[in-house]
Amino acid sequence: ATFRLPASRFLSIGPISRFASTLVIAEHEGGSIKAPSLSAVEAAKSLDKDNSISMLLAGSGPSLQEAAAYAASCHPSVSKVLVADSDRFMHPLAEPWARLIQLVQQRENFSHIVAASGSFGKNILPRAAALLDVSPVTDVIEISESTKFVRPIYAGNALCTVRYTGAHPCMLTIRSTSFQAQPDSTDSKAHKAPISQVDLSTFEEDTIGKSQYVKLTSQESERPDLGNARIVVTGGRGLKSAENFKMLEKLAEKLGAAVGATRAAVDAGFVPNDLQVGQTGKIVAPELYLAFGVSGAIQHLAGMRDSKVIVAVNKDADAPIFQVADYGLVGDLFEVIPELLEKLPEK
Ligand code: FAD
């Protein structure tokens, strides 16, 4: 008879076990698991068919315990929810979060630890990896085996297949646009994974306090979040002013779209930098990406080339954006946008 040890019994030093047990580091807001963390669960699902997936949630208050932990426990692919309830995790500061991951890993011995590649995961996971003495594999867009991953390099101009050969845990950040989660993935009320509280009595405080939470500044908007929107309307330097960007905002309202921008438009002060799409901005892959007055520099393409349908409007027929566009219109955006606004029905 064959006897299979759960991965959590394996020694922490040594090759990745065949039977994956994965910890997903999740972000939550207003009692819900954020969409990129649901994508991290999707990625974890492809690590191993016998994979057991745990989700770590941290923070404090009823929105954590009553709502987010409950939502996580209803996810059909999550087999255990770990909750660290403390004011220390109220804000996503890398120092306490990385220590928390180290503590959880020392107890549970996961084969993989996965987080979405956003500002949350990129901040925390490398520090946690350093504490666990492993190298993280970042920006994974495809998982072919439990140790074989594809990630973009040279601003997305080449794809690199890497094999992780280090000790476990194998730590990954994944691009959420490459592992789309079902929108209702936490709605299945039938499944309820056990929720356990992380014992924080041995939590080490000594290294905490190198960074401090000051404040959160965010734009209140009725429009969908740029990272998850089905339609993105982006403006470049061709828009010429902040005032002209309002035209694009109207168009986005009519289409139920998010507004994006190039770095040139952000640097010129037309829009705030949280709208920037590209290598040093947000990575998006909507169903429809509309680019107005965008030249299509490689750094911009790195953030949007995986969009399903790309439409570009540019007055220069040789603009590189037309090389990736499914539909291109050589024309003046100051004529095209008003015409579109006129023809599209009110929402
Ligand atoms: P431009 O290149 O100036 O293009 C404007 C376009 O508008 C032109 O093609 C023009 O033909 C067209 N146009 C002008 N008027 C009209 C009109 N009336 N009607 C129609 N079309 C018109 N860029 C990003 O976007 N995101 C990033 O994350 C990013 N990261 C970077 C990182 C590094 C390290 C570096 C070096 C650069 C980065 N950049 C990034 C900058 C990038 O190289 C480009 O400079 C930038 O994307 C250009 O923005 P743009 O297309 O708006 O402007």
Beta strands in 204-271 (DSSP E): 231-235, 258-261
Q: Using one digit for the tens of pLDDT, what is the confidence trace for 133-160? A: 999 999 999 999 999 999 999 888 899 9
Helix (H, G, I), strand (E, B) or coil at 120: helix
**From the alpha carbon of 277, which atom of ligand 1 is closest?**
26
Any atom of ligand 1 within 6 Å of the Cβ of 260 = no
Ligand 1 atom, smallest distance to 261 CA? 25
Q: Which mutation among 234, 245, 248, 299 tests ligand 1's pocket best, with the greatest number of atoms within 8 A of CB?
A: 299
Contact 289, 304 (CB under 8 A): yes
H/E stretch holding 25 reads: strand 21-25
Please work out whether the CB of residue 303 comes within 6 Å of at least one atom of ligand 1.
yes
The residues facing 59 across adjacent strands are: 85
Q: Is the minimum distance from the CB of 187 to ligand 1 under 6 angstroms?
A: no
- Predicted confidence (pLDDT) per residue in 289-336, tens digit: 999 999 999 999 999 999 999 999 999 999 999 999 999 999 999 999
121 lines ligand 1 (CB under 6 A): no
Instruction: Answer whether the bond into residue 152 is a cis peptide, omega within 30°.
Output: no
Token pair in block for residue 132: 């666990």
Query: pTM of this prediction?
Result: 0.83
Tell me what percent of the residues of the chain surpass a pLDDT of 90: 72
Ligand 1 site, residue 293, Cβ cutoff 6 A: yes
Give the C-alpha separation, 137 to 139, whole Å.
Answer: 7
What's the 48 CA to ligand 1 centre distance in angstroms?
41
